[in-house]
Structure 1
Amino acid sequence: MSQKSNPKAHPEANYRLPQVEQLLQQDFLSPFIKSLSRPVVTMVIRDYFTQIRQSESFKHAGVDGLDITQALSSRLHGVLLQRQTAVINATGTIIHTNLGRSPIDPALWDAVKAVNTGYNNLELKLEDGKRGQRKGLLDTLLCALTGAEAGLLVNNNACSIYLLLHALAKGKEVIVSRGEQIQIGGGFRIPDILALSGAKLVEVGTTNITTADDYIEAITDNTAMVLIVHQSNFVIRGFTESADIKELSRRLPKEVILAVDQGSGVTNEPHFPEEKSVIKYIASGADLVCFSGDKILGGPQAGIICGDASLVQRLEKNPMMRAFRPGRVVLSLIEELLVRKLNEQESGRGISERQVAQLSSTLNKADRLTQLFPNHIEICPLKAVVGGGTLPDIDYDCWGVILAGDPLKLSRELRLASTPIIGVIQRDKFILNLASVTDSDFELLILQLEDYLYLKEGFIDGHCRGEQVRTVV
């Protein structure tokens, strides 16, 4: 750029930006290239240079005063924060949808490594060499767990509900209680899904009371299904009543399907007696029951449908099934998880089951943190929830700690730690709820807090960091 093209330019200003290719050789960009890729880093650099050239300060004074290295590092760090990364869940919500719901047990992950890093028999029947369905042992395992005649796996439980409606009730009536026409996260509304599937919603009962008579009296020649929906993330207390599934199953005409969105995935876990299980729904006469694979079950994101074999076959033949079917990673993980669950192995228990079973240990962990950081941490009693749209009316006693300082600042700075720590702000205090911190993450939490307090104040527990010796892992 010359002074002729920009008459307001400073005669001694430098208008030459670094060449992109030369800049990419700089050492400070190497970590970003490794984590983001060279093309992405290049794109960020070029976008930044475009903004510089269009700015008034550049037109008048060129690049004088610009710290390009610092500006690019900041921008690239912001891009890097968008990438999936491991975090420490100290929110007290064990199955946290924003934090990936159920972590996969490392033993489970390792067990399916060979199946997923090489070829496998995803759609091949080894007994005769012919093409098979993408089911593997899943059908058999689900039947053994739930008592159903057949089972099916899809991408998530929203797919399960849509598939049920589209394949079995398109163009016909589906009866739903007014108290169960819910909306869950992301704007997923039961009435909208019914309309999208082509089914016609028939409302019965009231917000707080819906009886078996309400369902039976609403049946017409065009009724295809009665749909019972898990209320997911809320409860209605007080004067309430819902239909008994066994009675409803007995009174419904044979051609009307009784489908249940159980949602949470409780099957045979001993720690959640308040929740009606998939097993009980099947035993009570429900034709189909669907639920999530990444909630109480503790697997990857998936939707599971169990029930009548002939109905499951109809679902499998629906054209939408090809869009909804999961890949081999999810299939193999769920398959391995179910085998271990049926064998009552520790790695077959979901994260919520494991964490709820050891809530008493949170007191010892909180005590240890206060001993390590007495000037910065205060112990406090808390409540924990399972979360993820399960057991909305149940909480559990546990312990955690309060960090001294500005809660908003603490929340932001710990989110930006090398392993982000996700806590909560309650009563204008920043709190780490230890109910959702796994044993392995607890040791990492200690190291992260030590690093944070050192960077923040230059000392830990009143001692100069330089006087301490520890192993960094």
Structure 2
Amino acid sequence: MDAANPRALPAMHRLLSAPEAVLLAARHPRPALAAALRAELDALRRSGRGFTAASFFAAAEAALEAAARPGLRRVINATGVVLHTNLGRAPLPAAALAAIAAEVGGYCNLELDLEAGARGDRHAACAALLAELTGAEAGLVVNNGAAAMLLALSALAAGGEAVVSRGELVEIGGGFRIPEVIRQGGARLAEVGTTNRTRLADYAAAIGPETRLLLRVHQSNYRITGFTAAPDPAALAALAHAHGLLAVEDLGSGALLDLTRLGLPREPTLTGSIAAGFDLVVASGDKLLGGPQAGLILGRREVVGRLARHPLMRALRPDKLTLAALEAVLRLYRDPEGVVAAVPALAMLVMPREAVAARAMRLAALLPPGAAELVEGESLVGGGSLPGVALPTCLLALPGPAEALAARLRAGRPAVVGRIGGGRLLLDPRTVAEAEVETLAEAVRAALAA
């Protein structure tokens, strides 16, 4: 077929019987092969180019390989952003991966009480752990933090007002805006205070016959500093209860640990919010908790029960993979001393600059001499957590056109994602697992040689 007239296009039956097609058919389903050949024929007709077997089957093979490639692919995160939303936020602990593989890959007792032989509650295990770890009376899990907030508003404030400080009407990634979620939940927003200063008296003045709850929202990915004021959380909860209202907090990052113990800035914890008297607290599972994407809901039993019975709950409930992973992560928090090493996100956050530098030097030693320069830099927490906090790090700066090199690394298997600064591609080993160093070095060598 190589000697075919370049201006003629072979019939499909001839193409499918060609030796090149036979080789491709051994690796790809015949319908997919036929579709790829037909698409390439159409492309030739539109372009007016002639047929040559080598280029024709090479193009068809490239199309087949691209179609067979998984949409979700492994990525080595060399950006230095620990909770990188575009890269799936928190990497899962080994215990969570093991739980998914061992317990829920096949059938499991998702909604079966094995002792009673009757229908069970899919939330039971995680709810019990959330209660144990935070002091809450009850817990519930949905598929993400935004879903938790929407469910809370729909179940508790629909038809009434939710009072929120103007400084907490935040927008986070993906255009998620608190005012819009409040409206979607069927409630009306009552703004109080100013952007930088809101007092307890402002909340009290806004309470009326239509008020259903006082809502406190974690400012997530930004901070207001300087001339600021906000009421004490316990005082806000007490004000709500004095008027027969609910106090609800969207805590955002889902921290279970006192981060100041780890040398990081203070971040409100789930335990602290429950102790302050909030009736309901919601947060994300894949931020500072270091688990899978999930919405954590905890609080008073009666209030959590209203959410559990709401019709929206069925649309927002998590699947068995999420619950298995989350349960495994929550169990790790039973050991406050060992959890930091066991949860990758926490381990990355507390890794000292010297340890990052040692990993950077190991990586540099695996590259051709002079291929990388070690430079000082900063890592970020990401995921709307601890905004403005920069972690000292040691970067590898690679030579060559940064954009082209970054594109070659992203196209690899596994893909590698770094960041560009000062016209150079920078790799931050803080977010590269020790087991990934040699793989990363191999990917960089291949990209530099291309």
| TM more than 0.5 | yes
TM-score, normalised via structure 1 length: 0.86
Measure how far apart 1:106 and its partner are. 2.7
Residue 409 of structure 2 corresponds to residue 418 of structure 1: no
Contact 1:337-1:348 within 8 A present in 2 as well: no
- 2:250 maps to 261
Q: Give 1:148 deviation, angstroms.
A: 0.8
Shift of residue 40, structure 1, vs aligned partner: 5.0
Tell me how far apart the structure 2 counterparts of residues 30 and 380 of structure 1 sit (CA, whole Å).
Answer: 48
1:281 paired with 2:273, answer yes
Q: Distance in 1 between matches of 2:65 and 2:114?
A: 49
Counterpart check, 1:369 vs 2:357: no
Indicate whether 1:442 and 2:434 are aligned. Answer: no
Instruction: Tell me what 1:468 maps to.
Output: none
* Change in 2 beyond 3 A, CA 1:148/1:346: closer
Q: Secondary structure at the match of 1:379?
A: strand
Amino acid at match of 1:50: D
Aligned length: 437
Q: TM-score, normalised by structure 2?
A: 0.90
Q: Is 1:249 the counterpart of 2:242 in the alignment? A: no
| Greater mean alpha carbon deviation, residues 184-193 or residues 214-223 | 184-193
- Unaligned 5+ residue runs, structure 2? none
CA contact (8 A) 1:379 1:401 kept: yes
Pick from 166, 170, 173 the counterpart of residue 158 of structure 2: 170
Whether 1:160 and 2:148 are equivalent positions in the alignment is yes
After TM superposition, list the pairs within 5 Å mapping 1:32-47 onto structure 2.
Answer: 33=28, 40=32, 42-47=34-39
Higher relative contact order (CA 8 A, sep 6+): 2
- Cα distance, 1:107 vs structure 2: 3.4
Matched with 2:197 is 209
Rounded Cα–Cα distance in structure 2 between residues aligned with 1:328 and 1:364: 39
Kindly, what percent of the aligned residue pairs are identical? 36
Classify 1:103/1:129 alpha carbon distance in 2 versus 1 (closer, same or farther; 3 Å).
Answer: same
Asked whether the equivalents of residues 173 and 199 of structure 1 are also in contact (C-alpha less than 8 Å), the reply is: yes
C-alpha distance in structure 1 between counterparts of 2:442 and 2:6, whole Å: 51
Aligned-residue RMSD, C-alpha: 2.4
1:267 touches 1:279 (CA, 8 Å); kept in 2?
yes
Task: Say if 1:45 and 1:325 are closer, same or farther in 2 by CA, change over 3 A.
Answer: farther
Deviations, residues 73-131 of structure 1 (Å, cap 9, x unaligned): 34345445662111110001011111111122233312342321332221112232221
Native 8 Å contact 1:366 1:400 kept in 2 = yes
1:116 corresponds in structure 2 to: 104
Superposed, 1:37-186 pairs within 5 Å as: 40=32, 42-53=34-45, 55-57=46-48, 62-63=50-51, 67-79=55-67, 83-186=71-174
CA distance in 1, matches of 2:339, 2:303: 33
- Whichever residue aligns with residue 48 of structure 2, its letter is S
Partners of 1:292 and 1:38 in 2: how far apart?
44
Q: Report the CA distance between 1:349 and its aligned residue.
A: 4.0
What letter corresponds to residue 258 of structure 1 in structure 2?
A
Deviation of 1:186 after TM superposition, in Å, equals: 1.5
Q: Any stretches of 5+ residues in structure 1 without a counterpart? A: 1-10, 457-473
1:182-193 superposed matches below 5 A: 182-193=170-181
Equivalent in 333, 345, 348 of residue 352 of structure 1: 345
